Amino acid sequence: MKIYDRLFINGQWVTPSGADTIDVVDPFKEELCGRVPAGTRQDVDTAVQAARNGFAVWSRVAHRERAAVIEEIARKLEARSDEIAQTVSTELGMPISFSKAIQAGLPATVMASYATLAAEAPAEEQIGHSRVLREPVGVCAFITPWNFPLHQIVGKVAPALAAGCTMIVKPSSQTPLNAFILAEIMAEVRLPPGVFNLVPGSGREVGEALARHPEVDLISFTGSTRAGRRIAELAAQSIKRVTLELGGKSANVILDDADLKRAISQGVRDICLNSGQVCSALSRMLVPAHRQAEAVAIAKQTAEKIAIGRPDDPNTYMGPLVSEAQRRKVRGYINKGIEEGATLVYGGPEVPAGLPRGYFVAPTLFSDVSSRMAIAQEEIFGPVLCIIPYEDEDEAVRIANDTVYGLSGAVWSSNPERAERVARRMRTGQVMINGGKFNPLAPFGGYKQSGRGRELGKYGLEEYLEIKSLQL
């Protein structure tokens, strides 16, 4: 069990001002696997002041020196990748094979990408007699989620470091242990005091204090749309910059000329990745009405082959949900889908056979889903797939766009030009065409109530830069 009893503030491990702690529960064993201190508003004030002082130094460090530090952080993340993978697998429940590639591998890759971007000064632009500059925003606060914990932290920390900003990180209370590994790395590299600060705690105590704080210039939040709305309300009091990466209800549009078996099989596996606890999960599968029976049969065959079980088994594809509360939520939606009249094809709210321990939910498939049903409109955040029939391409696009969200999506067609034409009509931040892979250098973010702003690559860096005009 990992026990941490100090916060990381101003380049040092310090005693928190309060005595409260946060218990971390292993969702497979349903027992304690760690404990961290719970920060207070006083700790937030201390960390923000440290970040303000650190900004005066870090913002003036040469770009190539910043790049060297970021590169060193990336190397240290890579060196501790096995430890990171095991830690996240234990506190989250993601199978170890995926945790190695995603929870440990991706943060190191993203951090290294910003070493490259940081090496060059932001471009200056001459517009008539004006010179346009890009400068760091200032002190940033990061409130991050539990589903891809270290990746989401690094996706904010890396571009902020590259831009010359300083920061306070509040990790999720459900999966905070990995953030302490990052803090240990930050203590080892050549960062000035106050550049990186770690203050775990509740959203009500630490999160709201950060959102309100007048000395915080930018707040970046990843989580639910409900919580993002609250963050934006509080941040508006001091007119600070806000970036939000929120919920999703992404559509997987399978056109009538697609390779049905490939598209549907991959779609089912997608909804089971990380037990469906993915904001960009393709949770709505849109299929031609005249091929729905065929699509349902393929989906069921695929779901039956999903290996559910111990996260430490390399053959496991899907582990438990993160908590009992999350399992209750997902089961509630499954029951609602049944009540709404959708056809339960596979899975359901019952405990999967042979898994009496752990917060498990079986892969669950619904067919004959109407786009007006709650299971088709609301983010479930579990391994629940809605198969929705459509009559023609125009109706497919209409259904795909018919939610308050717009984070991700997919299109499948044997005609790449047709697939791209449909993708361009989808009101969403990213679209995968015929199984296109995730690109850590491409912008990630959403339309509508899926958020504002972008993360990753050069677009993520721009979120941390202010624009100044010199009139010459």
pLDDT in tens, 218-272: 999 999 999 999 999 999 999 999 999 999 999 999 999 999 999 999 999 999 9
User: pLDDT (tens digit, 9 = 90+) per residue, 115-161?
Assistant: 999 998 788 999 999 999 999 999 999 999 999 999 999 999 999 99
> 307: how many CB neighbours lie within 10 A of its CB?
12
Closest CA to 139 of 215, 232, 224: 215
Phi, psi of 194 (to 5 degrees): 90, -10
* Distances, alpha carbon 215 to alpha carbons 143, 159, 239, 347, in Å: 16, 20, 11, 49
Tell me the domain boundaries of the chain: 2-246+449-471, 251-440
Query: Mean pLDDT in the chain?
Result: 97
What residues does 133 pair with on adjacent strands?
A: 468
pTM (predicted TM-score): 0.97
Alpha carbons 413 and 209: distance in angstroms, whole number: 48
Alpha carbons 221 and 225: distance in angstroms, whole number: 10
Tell me the catalytic residues. Answer: 245, 279
Predicted confidence at residue 350, as pLDDT, reads 95
Predicted confidence at residue 123, as pLDDT, reads 81
Cα angle vertex 245, ends 239, 249, to 5°?
135
What CATH number is given for 251-440 in this structure? 3.40.309.10
Architecture of domain 2-246+449-471: 3-Layer(aba) Sandwich (3.40)
Task: Say which residues have a Cβ less than 8 Å from residue 453's Cβ, sequence separation at least 6.
Answer: 220, 242, 243, 244, 245, 445, 463
Residue 190 has pLDDT above 90, yes or no: no
Calculate mean pLDDT across residues 287-312.
97
